[in-house]
Amino acid sequence: MTSSSKQLANTHVAAMSAYTPGLQPTEPGWVKLNTNELPVPPSPRVVEAIQSELAEGGKRLRLYPNPNSAPLRAAVAAHHGLAADNVLIGNGADDVLNLLLRTFCGPDKPAAMTVPSYSLYAVLANAQNAPMLEVTFDRSMALPGDAIAQCPAKLFLLTSPNAPTGVGFSPKDIGDIAKSFEGILAVDETYAPFSGQDCVGLLKEHPNLVIVRSFSKAFALAGLRVGYALASQEIIGLLDRVRDSYNVDRLAQAGALAALGDTDYYANVIADTVVMRDKMASWYESLGWFVYPSVANYHFVEPVSRRGERGLAVATSLYEFLREQKVLVRAFPKHALTESFLRISLGSETEMETLQKVIRDWVAA
Amino acid sequence: MTSSSKQLANTHVAAMSAYTPGLQPTEPGWVKLNTNELPVPPSPRVVEAIQSELAEGGKRLRLYPNPNSAPLRAAVAAHHGLAADNVLIGNGADDVLNLLLRTFCGPDKPAAMTVPSYSLYAVLANAQNAPMLEVTFDRSMALPGDAIAQCPAKLFLLTSPNAPTGVGFSPKDIGDIAKSFEGILAVDETYAPFSGQDCVGLLKEHPNLVIVRSFSKAFALAGLRVGYALASQEIIGLLDRVRDSYNVDRLAQAGALAALGDTDYYANVIADTVVMRDKMASWYESLGWFVYPSVANYHFVEPVSRRGERGLAVATSLYEFLREQKVLVRAFPKHALTESFLRISLGSETEMETLQKVIRDWVAA
C-alpha cells in the first residue's frame, strides 16, 4: 500500500480524541470518589445468579448468549410497566448512547447537549461525524427548557439528574420540552434512581422520548456493563438494527436480571445514599462552600481556601492534595462554569470520614 | 414533535435490516451444530478466574472494569509476540469489525468482502452507510487474490479460514494481497486456531494488515463476548478512539485472560477437533457428498438425495428434516454458490452420532 493508515481513515476519526474515563486505579488503598460507583457490593442475588450461569464447569459459556437479552429485556419492561419491545439492552448505557447517535445523527443531522453534562456525548458525536450543538447552563444550573426545545438538533442528550452538578429536573418540565422539540429527546437517567422521580411516565405521551438507564450506579454493577433504553417500539426497532446482535454476555445478562429482582436490597441502598447525601451536603455547607442541591449520588462543590478564595487554582489545589492522600475525586477544569468545582461521589461512612479529615487538613494547611 | 422517529432517523438506518444471528434455542434437547461453538466447556481455569473476580460477595462488580482490558491486552500481545499497543480488545470480534468499518469506511469509502463469507460484514457497512463491494468466489472457493488486491475499497474484510466453506488460505497468498492492496486488509482469523496457520507473522511487513481474532470458537467462550485486533500501533490507535472506553466487562476480561493461559487444554481441544474433522469429512464423502476441504471446526457439505439430486430443494429438505429431529445446522439459501450446501459444526462424539443417524434416516426416507 502507498497511503498510511491515518490517511486511509475517516478524517473525522483521525482528528478526534478518545473519551478520557475517570482513573480506575488497580492498586489497593485508594478512596475512590471519582466515578460515582456505589460504596456497597451489588445484591447477593447477583453473585448467586452468575454462579448458577457458571454451573457444571462453565459449560454454558461455550454457547452464545441470548441475542436480545430476552429474559432481562422482559424483566426491565415489567419493572417499568412497559412491553418488551419498548426496551433495548446495551453493553452499558454508553452502548445505548452510541446507538442513538448512529441512528439519528450524521454530518447533516446535528446532536445537541447541555454544557456542562456528560462529556462522552461529544466524543460519540465526533465518532459519528455529527455536529454537536451546545446549550449552556447559567450558574443556577436550572433547566434551560426553551433553549433546548428550540434547538435545531435531531437528537438532544439531556442528563437528568445532571452530571456533574447533581441537579434534578422535573418530569413536567422535561415533558414540556419533549412536546415542543422537533427531534428525539434522550433523557439520560443514569442517576434517576437516586432522585425519587423519573420520566418513564412520559413515554406514552411523547413518541420522541428515549430514556437511557444504567446498572452501573444504582445497581452497583459498573463492572458488568449493562444499560438500557426505554422508548417507543419504533425507536427501539431502529436502534436494534445497528445494535450488535450479541452485545451483552451471558454473565452480565444473568447478573443484571438478578439485581433487578432484589427491590428491597436496592431500596435500602438508595435510602442510605439519601441519608449520606443530606449529611455531606450539610457538612460541605458548614465549611462555607457552595454546593448544588444534589439528587444524585455525588456532590458538585466549590471549595474555599483558608484565605476565602475560590476558583480554578483553589479547586486544583484541593484535587491534588486529596490525590496525594490517595483520595480520588473528579475535576472539570475546562469550562468557566465548572473549573472552580470538584465532583465528589458519596462513599461509605469510613470513606467520607477520610475525605472529611483530608479536606480539614487542606483547609488548615 | 411533527416528524416520526423513522423520518428523523438516518435514511440508511431506516432502510437497513439487522443481522440475523443463528438460532440460539433456550430449551434443552437440541443438537446445536449451527453456530460453530465447541462441544466442550472452556478451560477449568476460566471458571476459577471468574469465581475469583466474584470474591467477597461480588464487591468488585461495583467498580468499573479496566478501560483498556490492560492485563488481557498484555497477555494477548505476549501470546502473539507483539507489544500491547498492537492489540485492541473488543466486546467480541464483532465489536472489532464494527470499529474497522467506523474508522475506515463511509459513503465515499467503500468496504469490500468476498462472497460467500461472514454476512455480518454487509450489515456493518449498511450501518455505516458505506458501499460494500463484493469479490465473488468461483465454485473452487480458492482465494481470488488478484481481484482482492485490485479492489478499490478502503477496507477489505477477508475471512481465513473462510466461512461458511471452511477453506483456508495461505499466509503467503494473503501477504501478496496485502502488498498490492491500496486499503486496509482485515483478515478475520476467527477460525485460524483450528487451521495450523495464521497471518500474525505478516504484521511487521504489512502496515495495512489487521488480524481479527475471537475467543468465541477456539476458546469455547462465545458466551463471554471477547475478541481482539492485532495491527500496527497506528491502526490500533485509530480504532481505540472510536472504541467504547468500558467495552469489556470485568468477568469477561478475567475469563479470557485465564483461557489464554491454559495452552495445554486448548491444544488438546484443537487436536480432538482435527481428528473429528477428518473423520466427519470421510463420512460425508462416504455418502457421495461433496465437502470442501475444511481447516475450521465445521464442514460445508452438499447433500445428495436418495435419487442422486442436489440443489436448494435437497439442502432445504435435509435442513428441515434435521430440525424436526432437533438437530440445528445452518443453511445459506440466498446465493447460487451456497444454496445447495449446509454448514454443519463439529460437535461431540454423541452429537455426531445423532447427526449421522438422522442423516441416514433422511437418505433412506
Mean pLDDT score of chain A: 97
Average pLDDT of span A338-363: 98
CB atoms within 10 A of CB A249: 31
* Cβ pair A1:B249 closer than 8 A: no
* Cβ pair A62:B223 closer than 8 A: yes
Using CB atoms, pick whichever of B19, B106, B181 lies closest to residue A245: B19
Q: Residue B202's closest CA among B187, B191, B183, B218?
A: B187
At what angle are helices A250-261 and B250-261 packed, to 10 degrees?
150
Give the tens place of pLDDT for each residue, A212-255: 999 999 999 999 999 999 999 999 999 999 999 999 999 999 99
* Cβ pair A51:B46 closer than 8 A: no
Which CA distances in Å does B116 have to A117, A258, B60, B119, B136?
A: 46, 41, 44, 8, 7
pLDDT of residue A22: 85
Q: Residue A123's closest CA among B107, B102, B151, B337?
A: B102
pLDDT of residue A27: 87
Phi, psi of B357 (to 5 degrees): -65, -45
* Cβ pair B248:A225 closer than 8 A: yes
Rounded to the nearest angstrom, the minimum Cα separation between A361 and chain B is: 28
- A contact test, residue of B7, B8, B226 with most A CBs within 10 A: B8
% of chain A surpassing 70 pLDDT: 100
Using CB atoms, pick whichever of A8, A102, A234 lies closest to residue B6: A234
* Cβ pair A250:B224 closer than 8 A: yes
**Nearest C-alpha in A relative to B97:** A244
User: At residue A36, does pLDDT exceed 70?
Assistant: yes
HEC string of chain A? Answer: CCCCHHHHCCHHHHHCCCCCCCCCCCCCCCEECCCCCCCCCCCHHHHHHHHHHCHHHHHHHHCCCCCCCHHHHHHHHHHHCCCHHHEEEECCHHHHHHHHHHHHCECCECEEEEECCCCHHHHHHHHCCCCEEEEECCCCCCCCHHHHHCCCCCEEEEECCCCCCCCCCCHHHHHHHHHHCCCEEEEECCCHHHCCCCCHHHCCCCCCEEEEEECCCCCCCCCCCCEEEECCHHHHHHHHHHCCCCCCCHHHHHHHHHHHHCHHHHHHHHHHHHHHHHHHHHHHHHCCCEECCCCCCEEEEECCCCCCCCCHHHHHHHHHHHHHCCEECEECCCCCCCCCCEEEECCCHHHHHHHHHHHHHHHHC
User: At residue A1, does pLDDT exceed 80?
Assistant: no
pLDDT range class, residue B26, cuts 50, 70, 90? confident
Give the tens place of pLDDT for each residue, B5-21: 999 999 999 999 999 88
Rounded to whole angstroms, the Cα distance separating A167 from B352 reads 61
Using CB atoms, pick whichever of B58, B66, B92 lies closest to residue A26: B66
Rounded to whole angstroms, the Cα distance separating A54 from A44 reads 16
Rounded to whole angstroms, the Cα distance separating B180 from B150 reads 7
**Nearest C-alpha in A relative to B127:** A242
Rounded to the nearest angstrom, the minimum Cα separation between B13 and chain A is: 6
Task: Check: CB of residue B229 under 8 Å from CB of residue B211.
Answer: yes
Average pLDDT of span B22-38: 92
Indicate the length of chain A as a whole number.
365
Contacts of A35 in chain B (CB under 8 A): 64
Residue B61 is given by DSSP the state: G
pLDDT of residue B100: 98
Chains A–B, number of C-beta pairs less than 8 Å apart: 278
Q: Which amino acid, residue A344?
A: I
* Partners of residue A16 on adjacent β-strands: none
User: At residue A324, does pLDDT exceed 80?
Assistant: yes
* Cβ pair A223:B251 closer than 8 A: yes
Contacts of A73 in chain B (CB under 8 A): none
* Cβ pair B220:A94 closer than 8 A: no
User: At residue B192, does pLDDT exceed 80?
Assistant: yes
CATH fold group of domain B21-42+264-364: Aspartate Aminotransferase, domain 1 (3.90.1150)
User: At residue A191, does pLDDT exceed 80?
Assistant: yes
- A contact test, residue of B242, B250, B272, B273 with most A CBs within 10 A: B242
Contacts of B182 in chain A (CB under 8 A): 1-3
pLDDT range class, residue A23, cuts 50, 70, 90? confident
pLDDT of residue B1: 64
Contacts of B244 in chain A (CB under 8 A): 91-92, 94-95, 98
Grid-cell match 436480545, residue found: A68
* Cβ pair A42:B58 closer than 8 A: yes
Average pLDDT of span B206-211: 98
pLDDT of residue B169: 98
* Cβ pair A250:B58 closer than 8 A: no
Give the tens place of pLDDT for each residue, B60-112: 999 999 999 999 999 999 999 999 999 999 999 999 999 999 999 999 999 99
Burial profile A201-224: b = 16 or more Cβ within 10 angstroms, e = fewer = ebbeebbbbbbbbbbbbbbbbbbb
- A contact test, residue of B46, B85, B240, B251 with most A CBs within 10 A: B251
My answer on whether omega of the bond before A333 falls inside 30° of 0, hence cis, is no
Residue B60 is given by DSSP the state: G
pLDDT of residue A244: 96
Contacts of A232 in chain B (CB under 8 A): 5
Using CB atoms, pick whichever of B5, B21, B241 lies closest to residue A207: B5
* Cβ pair A8:B154 closer than 8 A: yes
Q: Which amino acid, residue B36?
A: N
pLDDT of residue A93: 98
CATH fold group of domain A57-261: Aspartate Aminotransferase; domain 2 (3.40.640)
Per-domain residue ranges for chain B? Answer: 21-42+264-364, 57-261
Average pLDDT of span A33-54: 97
Average pLDDT of span A342-355: 98
Using CB atoms, pick whichever of A19, A40, A241 lies closest to residue B18: A241
Rounded to whole angstroms, the Cα distance separating B300 from B344 reads 6
